[in-house]
Structure 1
Amino acid sequence: MKAKTIFIILITALLTIFLMINSEAVEFDFIIGQPVAVSKLIVIGICVLIGFILGFIAGRPRKTVSSYDQEIENHQANENKSTLSDEDRDYIS
């Protein structure tokens, strides 16, 4: 197994143990309304899930201007290949 896979399994196991230990109910003050008794397991789990989603969104690769320019160059190169004569294609290959 790769080190990255072992690291992910280890962190997931530790996070699961942490969530199971903290399952008692405590009062949380949400922005609107009265304090509510909620399990810490639910609150921490929701926060972790939101963190994973935000991390995924922030970590995914973006399409930059340079990659867009490279796609245009590749498309133009493919068009130029199709305009070559048969003799030119034979000479190149």
Structure 2
Amino acid sequence: MSTKTIFIIVLTILLTIFLMVNTDPVDFNFLVTTVAVSKLLVVGLCIVIGFILGFIVGRPRKTVKNLDAEIERHSAIENKKALSDEDRDYIN
């Protein structure tokens, strides 16, 4: 197993233990109402929302620089296809 996998498993176990210990009801104020909700639900929901936001913010964006690199890579592939048999033999 890789270090990343072990880290994710340990983090998941610790998070599960943390959630299971905090099951007491708490008063949750939302706008004008107060609702008694389990800490497990509140903390779990915050964790899920945090993971979703982290995924959205952390994913790579398509930028002009990335597109230019893709165009150059594609051009190199096309140029390689345009080589004659003699050129390919020489390169290999």
Q: TM over 0.5: same fold?
A: yes
* d(CA) in 2 for partners of 1:73, 1:62: 18
Task: Give % identity.
Answer: 66
Shift of 1:17: 0.9
With over 3 angstroms needed to count, the CA separation of the structure-2 counterparts of 1:76 and 1:18, relative to structure 1, is same
Shift of 1:90: 4.4
Q: Number of aligned residue pairs: give it.
A: 92
Shift of 1:51: 0.7
CA RMSD of superposed structures (Å): 2.0
* d(CA) in 2 for partners of 1:15, 1:90: 58
TM-score (norm 1): 0.79
User: Unpaired runs of 5+ in structure 1?
Assistant: none
Confirm whether residue 36 of structure 1 aligns to residue 38 of structure 2: no
Other structure's SS at 1:29 match: strand
**Structure 2 equivalent of residue 21 of structure 1:** 21
Confirm whether residue 9 of structure 1 aligns to residue 9 of structure 2: yes
Summarize deviations over 1:23-73 as a string: whole Å, max 9, x none. Answer: 111111012x31111111111110000011111122222223222111111
User: Unpaired runs of 5+ in structure 2?
Assistant: none
- Could you say which structure has the higher strand fraction? 2
